[in-house]
Amino acid sequence: MIGAALLWLGVGVLATLAIVVGLRVAWFVQGAYLIRRAGPRPFLATHHTIWRDPGGVESLDLSSGPGGPGGAPVPPFNFIEEHMTGSQPCVSVTDTRGRRWRVKWGNEVRAENFAVRLVWACGYHAETTYFVESGTIDGAHSLQRARACIGDDCRFREARFELDDPEVRKLFEEHSWAWNDNPFLGTPQLNGLKVLVMLLADWDTKDRRDVARGSNTAIFEHRVGRWRREARYLITDWGGSMGRWGSTVVTRGRWDPEGFAAQNAAFVTGTQDGLVHFGYVGQRTADVATGISIEDVRWLCRYLARLTDMQLRAALDASGASADETERFTQAIRQRINQLVRAVA
């Protein structure tokens, strides 16, 4: 009798273990599916956001941007490593406060630095980014891609510093999000971001579907409490902006005030049946430029239209723009904002 009881007890324990293991497997399979569907696992993040209320837009400091005046990188800088991926030369450094930064050079630096400040001022998540005119990176020797950007004396010019916060978990590529697959489809917040992409003429709108070429969307997990994380959806590369939009390398550009202003007439092309139509062309034109309602644009203008020309100039100056570039870009951006306001008036 005792032997039979022990046998049945063993069978019961094994059955219970099988059920528990099965549930755990199902849980992780579901989590992996959710990651592919454009979001972190539910036990790592419980709140998904793409926008937050920026408050008094007209009083924001666009010279400093998301990092604030006290967040800028502080020399001396010490070399950590060089990165072999991406379209532009890039290295990682630490500053005197021990913070880690990704330093990038090339023709995307100014455009990216400005775009980050504009979308942040409208309430969208953006990375902490600064334009540094010149400096020294100690220990930066035997470089490959960045060899032309840092001299033998370890000095550099015109670089973008992007904060690399170790507390933030960053999901890129297939774990990021797509314009046609994310939790915010049909919301003014997502459609407002699309309008800003077009306003900034950012043609490089690759997303999770473009893994082979590199996604420009990502999900950053921030700890916002002891047991809670927030999944923030954002665009991580604005380097293809502030020039001409277009579908080919021949028709598009970046950081070109003349080309940017030349397309103003094609920015808002009209309204019909409650929708606003745009002349924008990019790598994901259908996903970005269509389905924007008048109400979506009206919602965005509550924030965008409150930016002053002084703030725009401050953001451009902080991005390394010349005096002429600052004035030409400010005028062209104001014209585009006015087009949006008139479209929903």
Report the percent of the chain where pLDDT is more than 70: 86
Residue 173's pLDDT is 64
Residue 45's pLDDT is 45
Q: Based on the number of CB atoms within 10 Å of its own CB, is 107 exposed (0-12), middle (13-18) or buried (19 or more)?
A: middle
205 and 216 in contact (C-beta within 8 Å)?
yes
Q: What is the mean pLDDT of the chain?
A: 89
- Per-residue pLDDT band for 325 (boundaries 50, 70, 90) equals very high
The residues, any chain, with a CB within 8 Å of residue 41's CB and separated by 6 or more, are 31, 32, 34, 35
Q: Is the omega angle on the peptide bond into residue 188 within 30 degrees of 0, that is, cis?
A: no
Residue pointed to by tokens 């923030």: 232
Instruction: Indicate whether 147 pLDDT > 50.
Output: yes
Instruction: Indicate whether 7 pLDDT > 50.
Output: no
Instruction: Indicate whether 165 pLDDT > 80.
Output: yes
Question: Which three-class secondary structure string do you get for the chain?
Answer: CHHHHHHHHHHHHHHHHHHHHHHHHHHHHHHHHHHHCCCCCCCCCCEEECECCCCCHHHCCCCCHHHCCCCCCCCCEEEEEEECCCCCCEEEEECCCCCEEEEECCCCHHHHHHHHHHHHHCCECCCCEEEEEEEEEECCCCCCCCCCCECCCCEEEEEEEEECCCCCEEECHHHCCECCECCCCCCHHHHHHHHHHHHCCCCCCCCHHHCCCCCCEEEEEEECCCCCEEEEEEECCCCCCCCCCCCCCCCCCCCCHHHHHHCHHHCEEEEECCEEEECCCCCCHHHHHCCCEHHHHHHHHHHHCCCCHHHHHHHHHCCCCCHHHHHHHHHHHHHHHHHHHHHCC
- Per-residue pLDDT band for 213 (boundaries 50, 70, 90) equals confident
Closest CA to 114 of 268, 222, 272, 257: 257
Per-residue model confidence as pLDDT tens digits over 262-301: 999 999 999 999 999 999 999 999 999 999 999 999 999 9
Instruction: Indicate whether 8 pLDDT > 80.
Output: no
223: left (phi over 0), alpha (psi -120 to 50) or beta: beta
Instruction: Indicate whether 11 pLDDT > 60.
Output: no
The residues, any chain, with a CB within 8 Å of residue 150's CB and separated by 6 or more, are 91, 137, 140, 143, 156
Per-residue model confidence as pLDDT tens digits over 21-59: 454 444 333 444 444 445 554 445 469 999 999 999 999
Which pTM does this prediction carry? 0.86
Residues composing the chain: 345
The mean pLDDT of 175-181, rounded to a whole number, is 92
Residue 4's pLDDT is 53
Residue 46's pLDDT is 66
Question: Whole-angstrom Cα distance, residue 71 to residue 129?
Answer: 9
Residue 229's pLDDT is 85
Per-residue model confidence as pLDDT tens digits over 230-260: 999 999 999 999 999 999 989 999 999 999 9
Per-residue model confidence as pLDDT tens digits over 49-92: 999 999 999 999 999 999 999 999 999 999 999 999 878 999 99
- Per-residue pLDDT band for 211 (boundaries 50, 70, 90) equals confident
Residue 6's pLDDT is 46
Per-residue model confidence as pLDDT tens digits over 94-144: 999 999 999 999 999 999 999 999 999 999 999 999 999 999 999 999 999
Cα angle at 208 between 202 and 210, to 5 degrees?
75
Task: Please report, for the chain, the start and end positions of each structural domain, with discontinuous segments joined by +.
Answer: 40-343
